[in-house]
Each structure stands twice: as C-alpha cells, then as structure tokens.
Chain A
Amino acid sequence: MSKLLEVKNLYLSIESENENKILKDINFSINSSEILSLIGESGSGKSLTALSIIRLLEKNCRIKKGKIIFNDTDLLSLEEQNMRLIRKNDISMIFQEPMRSLNPVMSIYDQLLEAHEKDSRKKIKRKIIENLISVGIDDASRVIDLFPHQLSGGMKQRVMIAMAIACKPKLLIADEPTTSLDVTIQKQVLDLLLELRNELNMSILFITHDLAVASQISDNIVVMKEGMVVENSESKKFFENPKSLYSKTLLASSSYNRKNNFTNSLKNNSVLKVNNLKVYFKEKKSFIARNQDYKKAVDDISISIDAGATHAIVGESGSGKTTIAKAIMGLTEVTDGDIRILDKDILKMEGKEKLNFRKNYQMIFQDPFSSLNPRMRVGSIIKEGLSFLKPYMNTEETNECLKNVIENVGLEESSLYKYPHQFSGGQRQRIAIARVLVLDPKLLICDEPTSSLDVTVQKQVLDLLNEIQTKNQISYLFISHDINLVASISDTLSVMYQGKIVESGKTSDIINNTSNDYTKKLLSSVPQIL
C-alpha cells in the first residue's frame, strides 16, 4: 500500500511571550483506505495536528519545522489557492459539535449545495439526495428542506459527514465526531464511517480521547501526550501489548473497577426513597387549544437507595436523568409523588426545617468549569454551604473544617486562597466535591461528575468518590450515560428511557442477563476494547 499522507518532524508553536512549542517532532503516516486514530487527552495537540494538515490553524500558530506530504506534494509549501483546491477535492474534515458546524439559518439543501460541484438544478438535487442516502438518511427528500434545529444530533452529524464526503475525498479528518452523541447514535456513526471507508476507499484520520472507540474503528493508533507522539503502532498490537508507560496508564484508566464492594451490613435502612415521582413541564398552550399539554420529563419513577450503597441511573440524553436529580434537590418543581430522605418527606418540609435538613443531601454537578463561581476564592466557595447550612459554627471551627476537607480531597491548603481558574478540570471537580463533603451529607447526587474529564483524571475522581464512600458511609445516586462505567461502580441500577424506568435491579443481574430490549441495545452499542 502506498502512503497517502505523511507527517514528518512537525514542530508547531503558538506565538506568545514565552514561545513554547506545542507540537514537538510529530511523525506518522496514513496509507490509502486506512483508519488511523490519534489518541490523547485534552491539550495533547491532537486537534492542532489535524488543523495543520488541512492548514486551518489560527493566526498565532506557527509551524516551525517539518513536512506534511500528501500524494507527493508538501502541503505546507503550497500556495493558499492550491491548498483550497486540495481542501475542496482531496481532504475533508468533520468537527466535534454538529450543532455548531452547521449554519442555523440555512436549510440542509443550501448547506450541501456548497459542497457539490456546480451543475443543473435537477442533477444537483438528485446528487444531494443520493449523498444523504449514502450516509444513512433514508427520507432524504424530506430532510433537505429542513433546518439544522429540526434535526437530532445524530442526524446533524450525518449531514456533516455527507457534506464532507460529497467531494469523494481521499482523506477524511474526523475530530471527535462522536463525543457529543449518545452511545446508540455513536455506534451508528462509527458503523457508517467504516462502511464509507470500504465504499469510497478513503483514509480516515480519526481523533478521539476514547480508547474503546478507537479500538473499534482503527487500523493504526498514534498516542499523543503533551505535543509529542508517545506511541505509534498497529491497533491490535497496541491493545494487546502497549509499549509506553503512558499508554499503559491510559488503558488501565479506561476500564474502571471499584475496589470495595458494597456489603449489605445495614439492612432495610434506606437513605433515599422516591415513590411514583412525576415531573411534567407545561408546554406552551396555543390560543385555541383547550387542554394543557405536558412534557413528561419524569414519569412515575420509584427508586430506593440503602445506606452506603451506590445506585446508578443510566440513560441517553433527554431521558430525564438530570430532572430526577433536580427534583430531589428542589431545583425543579415536582408534579406528583414523594421523595423521602432518611425517612422524612422533603417535599412537605418548609422554611427553616428544610434549610436545616438540606445538609443531608447534596449534589455534584457535571461541569466543574461552570459549577464554581469564577470570582470567588476556593475557600469562600467551600465555605458558602457551611455558612448557610451550619450557621452555628464559629470562625475557628469553620477554618478547621475547610483545612480538613481540602486535604481529604487531595489538594493543598494553599488552594483555599486561589481562584478556580488556577486549577485544572480534575482539581476543580475535587473542589466541587470538597464543597459538598464539608457538609457531611448522607446522600450525594453525582450528575455525570466525570463525563467532562480526561480518562486518567476520571479514574482519580472516581477513586476519590470511592474512598469517601468507604470512609463516611455516604450513599450515592450516580447519574451517567456511560453504562460501562456504571456497571463497575454501582450496586443497583436503573435504566431510563424517555422519562420512564425500563429496568431496575442489581447491577450485575442487569449487565449479565437482561431481558429488556432497550437495555440490550444500550449494552451492545457501548464500544468495548477488542
């Protein structure tokens, strides 16, 4: 096989005061009709590498050295207009966010029109429809008149792929194309990419942080860390026997195993009991309609968690998982049902009683970047809960508490005087954990606490949560879209689909032999390392 693309000794730096090199000596090559995965954590330089191939770098990025040879021409020395031709005919790219890559005011037809050669109206329309059918959109003649907001995430990504392959490129660069999609849709997109590869004989440079996804799709793997290539080998060899230390830790973190297992020592001592919970959102009533329409976000749900146990709720986006968390925390109104924490009905509590009781149940949010006020010091962020929920503490006690808790989550005491932007994602999530831990809750709701973190950091945060659970006997309500992760950390599990629980029970039972169709589908969609 001939080499289609070859990246040789690529050095890149971003112009700033201290000209540090972002990419250092990148070398790899892609043969025709081959899929190469670029793997690395955020900030490792994967996207920059891809952007320098297609030469769409920001202005302040400078390629210092190196060659990018595509079909025997050095892309870096090409004139801009010739490069434009290459982008038009030979190399295409799809991006992570399908919502942002499509222009919201143009119909799908108009957007695809840009990607196609000029031709007569009829012919172009036929081509576009064929194009859409080839990416698995069956009712293409209807879809072309729609606007992006009328399509689901998976459909949008298909449209993006259709645009990218319209010119029948030799190389497709896919920058985390499935990261923002649900697992079932992710599987469809991955299958589609594999199919297209065979059909069109194109090569794919697949950028991802997810090892399982990479193992499903790729022939070769390149692992990057801090702007350098750590490992470059065949996919099979890589997963069987990774050479570098970093790859080994990556592989180890991608499959998480809980060390302790829940021992049911305190029987029938339920911390949280949710009975027939219903959360309906009013939909906008039209002028003439008689009946109020409701969107049933959570429909008749019952959960119960024992002391010190972990219950997980798993489901796709829009299935109502987060609404349950919000309903328990009182962030959204409950239509019907009751929620009992430590045998007290929190929906009936009011005023001071509720304020006093609040410290018993707390929540960790998904995005550590937006859950901490950027203008407050870490110390006062953690102190906030204390000062409202435990007002009887004096200053000394409070300070003592802060010191203990910040050490418990593995940060230094000096962190208390810093601002959130001085920390990395993982450290921020530790701060968020410290903020609720300081209240000594009995129930902790974790709403996708690790999904915005890198795998190695994810593992650390999960370890921390685990450690806290064994130490303080806290019950967790763990909300996640990742059934793989949930399988390894939870004792009991509920699978949600469109506001309803489709299956509930012991985790091991559900994972190993489920009878439910949806659960089966979910399990089979999850990419496994081969």
Chain B
Amino acid sequence: MFVFLLTDIFFYIIIFSIGLYIFYVRKTKDILETWKHVFKSRTGIISIVVLSFFLLIAILDSIHIKEKIYNEQTESFSYESEIKSVLDIILLPTYKNYEKSYSSPFSSNLYSKETIILENNIERRVYPKLLYKGNHNKYASDNTVNILLTFIISLLKYFFVFLIFYLFFYFRIIFKRKNNIFTPFKLNKVFLMTLSIIVILSIFLYELSLQYYVLGTDKVGVDVLYKSIKSIRTGILIGTLTTIVMLPFAIFLGIFAGYIGGFVDDVIQYIYTTLNSIPSVLLIASAILMLQVYMANNPLNFENIYERADLRLFFLCMILGLTSWTGLCRLLRGESMKLREVEYVQASKTFGLNRFSIIVRHIMPNIMHIVIITIVLDFSALVLAEAVLSYVNIGVDPTTYSWGNMINAARLEMSKEPIVWWSLFSAFTFMFILVLFANLFSDVVRDAFDPRSNKNYE
C-alpha cells in the first residue's frame, strides 16, 4: 500500500511544477535559448547530471510503501507498521542487518575490544569479527585483490547495461531508417562521460556494500553509507520545499511593494525589516520547540514515528521559508520599481491596462530571471542551514536521517579515543558534492540569465 507523508506530497508538487516549467520553457523561445546556454557549458551539463542523480535518489526515497503481511494467528492480512521507500527496497540487501557497534570502513572487526569466552572457559579481550559483512569476500580472500575484482566486475556490468541501451537506440534508429551505427555516440560527450562515471560508481558502491561497510558503521551498527544516502532526501527536500514556501511571499509582496508603492510599500517594507532584525535562529528554535510541545501533548495524532519526524521536517521547511523570503523580496521590489517607470509599462498604461494585467504581462516575465537565479543560489545555502540547525538540535527530528544529525552525533564520536571519523567524513563528502554541484549549476544559470552578462536581454 502506498503511503503519502506530508513532505512526499509537497515534493511531488515540486517535481510536477519543475515538469510544468520545462514544458513551458520548451514552448517559449527566448527562455529556451537562455537555457540552451546552460546546456552548452561543460560545467552546466556535469552539474545537471549530478544533481539529477541526487534528485532521482530523493524521488525514489519519497515513494513510501507499507508492506502487507499475513498474520497466522488471526489468519488475516494486515499492514506492517514500518514504512519503507522504494529506495529502501532497492538497497535492502546492503543494509538489512545491523552490527553491534562501531566498525571502521572496510574492516572485518568491530572497532572496540570485547571479552569473549573460548571453549575451554578462557576469557580473552579481542576485536570481535563482524557478523554480516567484512568477512564475506566474494572473489578473492585478499581485500585489495577482492576490491579490484569487484571493480572489474562492476565495469563489466556497466558495459552490459550500456550495450542494452545502445542496442535499444540502435534498433530505434534502424526502425526510423537512419542507418548509422554511431548515432548514439553523437550525444554530448561530456554528458555521456558524466553519466558513465556516475553509473559505474553506483554499481561499484552497491557491489562493495554487499561485502563491506564502505564507510563503516555507526554507534548502533548501521551502515554509514546507507545513512548518508538516505540523508539526500532530507537535504534536497529542505532546499526545495523551503523555496516553494518562500516564493509566493517574495514574489507577490516584492511586486506589490515595488509596483504599487506608497502605503503598501511602507507596510511591506516594515514587515520585512522587522522580520530581518529578529535573529532567524531564534524564530526557528521557538517554532520547533512549540511543535515539540504540541507533539508531546497530542501523541495520539500520530500513527507512528515516521509521521512525527515527517511533520517536524515539514515544519522546519515552513519556518525556514517564512524567515528567508525577505532577501528576494527586497530584490524584486527594487526591480519592479525600476520596471514601473520603463516605457513599455507606461505604454501599456496608455492602453488602459489595469494593474493586474500589467503585473502579469509585463512585470512578472521581466523579473523571473532574478527569481531563478535566487532559487538556485539559495538551494545550497539551505542544505547547509539544515546541517547547522540540526547540529544545535533545532533541526530535523533525531530519528530522521540527515547530514546535520550525523554531524551532531560526530561531535561525541570525535572526542573518542581512538577517534571515530567516518560519520563526519561521509556526511561532509555527500554534502560537499551536492552543494558544490548546486553552486556550479547556479553559477552557470546566473551567467545565462543575468541580463548584464547576456546580450540577448539588453
């Protein structure tokens, strides 16, 4: 049975609106030309491929399912209380078993010594062997050789996948009577390269995860790699959902303040200067604390912990959105003020257009580039903000997988002797990759959309 969590629904809406935007862009020639600039640049293509991969993981992780189980005692079907996502089902072989506690990447033993009793009642302090992974090399007993062989096998698997796709395209081409074997290779080389690297890496990591804990395990023995992958959804959700919350405020209030001016402008300006002068951490902390009180008082409103955690995540997005619209609002106010005096707006006034039509027809299309630039730029800042907030315990629920929570846990792990570094390392690496490519992408988008750097819009 499909389960729709609150954030899932909003995430679908976001995906749907991205789809709508793509559809709209394909029909609008000048915006299409601008986006083509993004696709022409190498950085643009690479970052789009990487980001789409992250997005794909987030989407797979947002389709939630409850499994049907047969209860033998009552002889009836019922649903499991646990909610799984499609991603969980795909990754199931790699994470289904838990170890006892910490173990370092690729090791075959736990990280700390334990007392075990041998057959002849002799007690010994040893590093116990891991139960499920680390001691189950598939291809060779030596670890290095085994990893190498795994890599070669994942390469072979990749070529197999590639061949299938190639043949698929090839037959489609034959079917259309454009008989050229090399047509599939005429696709953009950068695109193909990036995609290949990602696919090879994921196959390789998957194969490795069946045999090792690639990034070790955490305090309760969960695979850290799995945790980091699950955190992708949280990061992306916070980056996008917050934007959706803040956009209406920023766009409408910004345009009203700038275009209508006068009293309306004064009121809106007062609101955002006031909001801006309250430290946003304070607002977020109080909102989250209020929510916690509500959840503690009304435990019956929630079917399970997933819903509780989900509500908290949703609430965090809301409050982040409510505190972050002021910057964009101010930008849009300035731009609308400028546009108000531009002659094409004056000309349409002489045609007797009302305010609403002028805003929709003339102001909105001409401020959209600012909106797009800001959305893309803000995304990475919000992913980082989540980490910071979770670190000070006012972010997402502790049961939610998130990089912030991993970093928060790492605070204690870092003070252990010997040091447990891999949680922090993997959270850092994943966040770094996402934020880096988001930033690269935003750079390209800004270059393409900024009228000052693009001659089309002079």
Interface residues of A (CB under 8 A from B): 329-331, 354-355, 358, 362-363, 365-367, 369-376, 384-385, 388-389, 419, 421, 432, 435
- The yes or no answer to B172 lying at the interface (CB within 8 A) is no
Pick the most buried of B348, B352, B357, B458: most chain A CB atoms within 10 A of its CB: B352
Q: Does B417 contact A (CB under 8 A)?
A: no
Question: Which residue of the partner chain A has the closest CB to B350?
Answer: A329
Residues of A within 8 A of B353 (CB): 384, 388
- Taking a contact as CB atoms closer than 8 A, the residue among B343, B350, B351, B456 that contacts A370 in the complex is B343
Task: Give 11 A-B pairs besides A375-B365, A389-B351 with Cβ atoms closer than 8 angstroms.
Answer: A331-B350, A362-B350, A363-B350, A365-B347, A371-B346, A371-B347, A373-B361, A376-B365, A388-B351, A388-B353, A389-B352
Residues of B within 8 A of A (CB): 29-30, 342-344, 346-353, 357, 361-362, 365-366, 456-458
Q: Is the CB of A354 within 8 A of B347?
A: no
Nearest A residue to B30 by beta-carbon distance?
A419
Q: B370: shortest Cβ distance to chain A, in Å?
A: 13
B456 touches A421 (CB 8 A): yes
Which B residue's beta carbon lies closest to that of A356? B352
Q: A388 to chain B: closest CB distance in Å?
A: 5
Interface centre among A330, A366, A375, A419 (most CB of B within 10 A): A375
Residues of A within 8 A of B347 (CB): 363, 365, 371, 432, 435
Name the residue among B348, B351, B456 with the largest chain A CB count within 10 angstroms.
B351
Check if A384 sits within 8 Å of B348, measured CB to CB.
Answer: yes
Can you give 17 contacting A-B residue pairs, CB < 8 Å? A331-B349, A355-B352, A369-B458, A370-B343, A370-B344, A371-B344, A371-B347, A373-B365, A374-B30, A375-B365, A375-B366, A384-B348, A384-B353, A389-B351, A419-B30, A421-B457, A435-B347
Known contacts A366-B343, A367-B343, A419-B30: does B457 contact A374 (CB below 8 Å)?
yes
- List residues of chain B with CB within 8 A of the CB of A374: 30, 366, 457
Instruction: Determine which of B343, B346, B351, B365 lies in contact with A358 in the assembled complex, contact meaning CB atoms within 8 Å.
Output: B351
In the complex, chain B residues whose CB is within 8 Å of the CB of A363: 347, 350
Task: Note all chain B residues with C-beta closer than 8 A to A385.
Answer: 351
Known contacts A371-B343, A371-B344, A421-B456, A358 near B350 by CB under 8 Å: yes
In the assembled complex, the Cα of A258 lies from the Cα of B15 at a distance in Å of 62
Residues from chain A with a CB closer than 8 A to the CB of B29 are: 419
A56 to B122, CA, bound (A): 88
Alpha-carbon separation in the docked complex, A367 to B458 (Å): 13
A contact residues around B351 at 8 Å (CB): 358, 384-385, 388-389
Q: Which residue of A lies closest to B369 (CB)?
A: A375
Name the 6 nearest CB pairs between A and B, nearest first.
A371-B343, A375-B365, A385-B351, A365-B343, A373-B344, A355-B352
Q: Is the CB of B352 within 8 A of A358?
A: yes
**Residue in A330, A369, A375, A421 whose CB lies within 8 Å of B350:** A330
* List of A residues within 8 angstroms of B344 by Cβ: 370-373
Closest Cβ neighbor of A432 among chain B residues: B347
Q: Which residues of B contact A372 (CB under 8 A)?
A: 344
Chain A residues with CB under 8 A of B352? 354-355, 358, 388-389
**Shortest distance between the CB of A354 and any CB in chain B (Å):** 7
A365 & B346 in contact (Cβ 8 Å cutoff):
yes
Contacts of B30 in A (CB 8 A): 374-375, 419
How distant is B340 from chain A, measured CB to nearest CB, in Å? 11
Query: B361–A384 contact, CB under 8 A?
Result: yes
Most central of B347, B352, B361, B458 by chain A CB within 10 Å: B347
Given A331-B349, A389-B352; A421-B458 close (CB under 8 Å): yes
Are the C-beta atoms of B342 and A370 separated by less than 8 Å?
A: yes
The complex places the Cα of A388 from the Cα of B352 at a distance, in Å, of: 7
Measured in the bound complex, the distance between the Cα atoms of B343 and A372 in whole Å is 8
Identify the interface centre among A354, A372, A373, A376: most chain B CB within 10 Å of its CB: A373
Contact A331 B346 (CB under 8 A): yes
Which residues of the other chain, B, contact A366 by a CB distance below 8 angstroms? 343
Identity of the chain B residue whose Cβ is nearest the Cβ of A372 in the assembled complex: B344
Give the complex CA separation of A289 and B357 in angstroms: 40
State in angstroms the CA–CA spacing of A155 and B362 once bound together.
38
A358 CA / B348 CA spacing, docked (Å): 12
List B contacts of A388 (CB < 8 A): 351-353, 357
Closest B residue to A381 by beta carbon equals B344
Q: How far is the CB of A40 from chain B (nearest CB, A)?
A: 21
Min CB gap A407→B, angstroms: 22
User: Distance (Å) between the CB of B454 and the closest chain A CB?
Assistant: 11
Chain A min CB distance to B404 (Å): 40
Shortest beta-carbon distance from B76 to chain A in Å: 61
Minimal beta-carbon separation of B416 from chain A (angstroms): 55
B342 to chain A, nearest CB (A): 5
Chain B min CB distance to A112 (Å): 31
Question: In the complex, A375→B348 CA distance in Å?
Answer: 14
- In the assembled complex, the Cα of A385 lies from the Cα of B352 at a distance in Å of 8
Residues in B with CB closer than 8 Å to A376 are 361, 365
Q: Who on chain B is nearest to A439 by CB? A: B351
Give A362 to B349 CA distance when docked, in angstroms.
Answer: 11
Instruction: Kindly state the separation between the CA atoms of A366 and B349 in the bound complex, as whole angstroms.
Output: 16
Chain B positions within 8 Å of A354 at CB level: 352
Closest A residue, CB atoms, query B29: A419
Nearest opposing residue in chain A for B348, CB measure: A384
Give the CA-CA distance A421 to B456 in the complex, in Å: 7
Chain A residue at smallest Cβ distance from B368: A375
- Which partner residue on chain A sits nearest B341 by CB separation? A370
Rounded to whole angstroms, the CA-CA distance of A389 and B30 in the bound complex is 28
Residue of B nearest to A352 (CB): B352
Q: Enumerate chain A residues within 8 angstroms of B346, measured Cβ to Cβ.
A: 331, 365, 371
Rounded to whole Å, the gap between the CB of B40 and the closest CB of chain A is: 12
In Å, the complex CA distance between A369 and B29 comes to: 20
Q: A358 to chain B: which residues have CB within 8 Å?
A: 350-352
The interface residues of chain A lying within 8 Å CB-to-CB of B366 are 373-375
CB distance from A378 to the nearest CB of B (A): 12
Name the residue on A nearest B342 (C-beta): A370
In whole Å, how far is A82's beta carbon from the nearest beta carbon of chain B? 34
Q: Which residue of A lies closest to B343 (CB)?
A: A371
B28's nearest neighbour on chain A, judged by CB, is A375
Which of B350, B352, B362, B457 has the most A CB atoms < 10 Å from its CB? B350
Residues of chain A within 8 A of B362, CB atoms compared:
373
Chain A hits for B343, CB < 8 A: 365-367, 370-371
Min CB–CB distance B228 → chain A (angstroms):
42
Q: How far is the CA of A373 from the CA of B363 in the complex (A)?
A: 9
For the complex, what is the distance from the CA of A483 to the CA of B229, rounded to whole Å? 74
Closest to A445 in B: B350
User: Cβ of B458: which chain A residues have Cβ within 8 Å of it?
Assistant: 369, 421
CA–CA, A432 and B346, complex, Å: 13
When distances are taken between beta carbons in the complex, the residues of chain A under 8 Å from B342 are 370
Q: Which residues of A contact B456 (CB under 8 A)?
A: 421
CA distance A467 to B361 in the complex (A): 32
Minimal Cβ-Cβ distance residue in A for B344: A373
**Cα separation A375 to B30 with both chains bound (whole Å):** 7
Closest to A421 in B: B456
A354 to B344, CA, bound (A): 21
Contacts of A389 in B (CB 8 A): 351-352
Q: Which residues of A contact B348 (CB under 8 A)?
A: 384
Residues of A within 8 Å of B365, CB to CB, are 373, 375-376
Across the interface, which residues of B come within 8 angstroms of A367, CB to CB? 343
Which residues of the other chain, B, contact A421 by a CB distance below 8 angstroms? Answer: 456-458
- The smallest C-beta distance from A16 to any residue of chain B, in angstroms, reads 11
Bound complex: CA A511 to CA B3 (Å): 85
User: What's the Cα separation between A385 and B347 when bound, in Å?
Assistant: 9
Chain B min CB distance to A503 (Å): 29
Q: How far is the CB of B33 from chain A (nearest CB, A)?
A: 9
Residue of B nearest to A375 (CB): B365
How far does the alpha carbon of A73 sit from the alpha carbon of B361 in the complex, in Å?
58
- The chain B residue sitting closest to A369, CB to CB, is B458
CB neighbours of A384 from chain B (8 A): 348, 351, 353, 361
List residues of chain B with CB within 8 A of the CB of A373. 344, 361-362, 365-366
Q: B349 to chain A: which residues have CB within 8 Å?
A: 329-331
Nearest CB on B from A141, distance (A): 38
- The smallest C-beta distance from A387 to any residue of chain B, in angstroms, reads 9
